[in-house]
Amino acid sequence: MISPRHAPAIACALAGLASGPTASADPLTREQCLDAHSRGQDARDEGKLSLARKLFLTCAQPACPALVQSDCARFTDDLTREQPSLTFVARDAQGADLPDTAVYVDDSLIATRLDDGRPHDVDPGRHTVRFSSGGKDQLVTLVVGAGEKGRVVTVVFSAINPAPPAAMRAAAAPTPREPEVSHPRASRYLIVAGAAATLTGGVLGVLGVHAVPSSCSISTHHCAAAPNDGVFDQARSGMQLADVGIAVGAVGAVTLAGGLVWYYARATTERPGQVVIPVVTRDGAGLALSGTF
């Protein structure tokens, strides 16, 4: 059974046989035209639009039979609309264009330079694009849709013309230490002892006051009781305990105050000394001195 796709080609072939052989000056033979017509349709169906366009452009030449030429011209116009294209851009680390860049699509060389800015036809589907400039390569994988025109594919070669480093860069510079304040150790003992004595004296004073019977007045030193009543002895003992507490508390307060004065008045500040820092530059290396004076 004859395929509908090949019917025009067969008809033209029969017509050509009836009319006799063509002049030898024709650049294409009927067989070449029919072969390009058939192979172009196969390539188009396989998604190989670039190959199909080349084949259709071949059989669209005036040397081909009129029916084949008409088909191929129409197929070429259709593929022109469907054929996607890519525009390639390569830049260095500073954002400057790199026109001296070659581009390969699926390992096929597409462009030797990028200074014309024109789009390049590709087939629809998945592609691996390799940019090559200055001995460096960058790979981009992308999927191109049918009819996608002028899609821009940009890569940056970060290793080409990188940003200049700082004039000097310290290697592992230590973090500066804060000044340290030192206090006399003995002053801390006085503060602790004074605080303890003050607290003890306060407790003894409170206990002594509470030991005085309620029938006795601390302010007037009188008791509402018979002369030989035992409340007098209780009141006397309580006041003695309170007096001891007051004395101990007073000594503790003086000791605490003295310790605090000594603690703050004799404090010393230790500043960090000088630090030697290794310094690495693009032109060499050396040492840097850091510290306080």
Domain spans, the chain:
4-82, 85-157, 180-270
User: Domain 85-157: what homologous superfamily?
Assistant: Carboxypeptidase-like, regulatory domain (2.60.40.1120)
Residue 272: its pLDDT value, please?
A: 60
**Pairing outcome for strands 136-144 and 151-157:** unpaired
Neighbouring residues of 71: CB distance < 8 A, sequence distance ≥ 6: 8, 37, 59
Q: Are 213 and 231 in contact (CB under 8 A)?
A: yes
Hey, what are 219's tokens? 């302010």
How does pLDDT run along the chain (293 residues), one tens digit per residue? 334 444 444 344 334 433 433 334 457 899 999 999 999 999 999 999 999 999 999 999 999 999 999 999 999 999 999 999 999 999 999 999 999 999 999 999 999 999 998 999 999 999 999 999 999 999 999 999 999 999 999 999 999 988 776 544 545 555 666 777 888 888 888 889 989 989 998 898 888 788 878 778 777 777 877 777 777 787 788 788 878 879 988 998 898 898 788 888 887 877 665 555 665 555 555 655 555 55
Quick: pLDDT tens for 5-53.
Answer: 444 443 443 344 334 333 344 578 999 999 999 999 999 999 999 999 9
- Single pTM value for the model: 0.47
Nearest to 90 by CA among 144, 120, 149, 132: 132
Q: Coil, helix or strand for 293? A: coil
CA distances from 240 to 4, 20, 216 (A): 132, 151, 14
Strand partners, 130: 104, 139
pLDDT at 269: 74
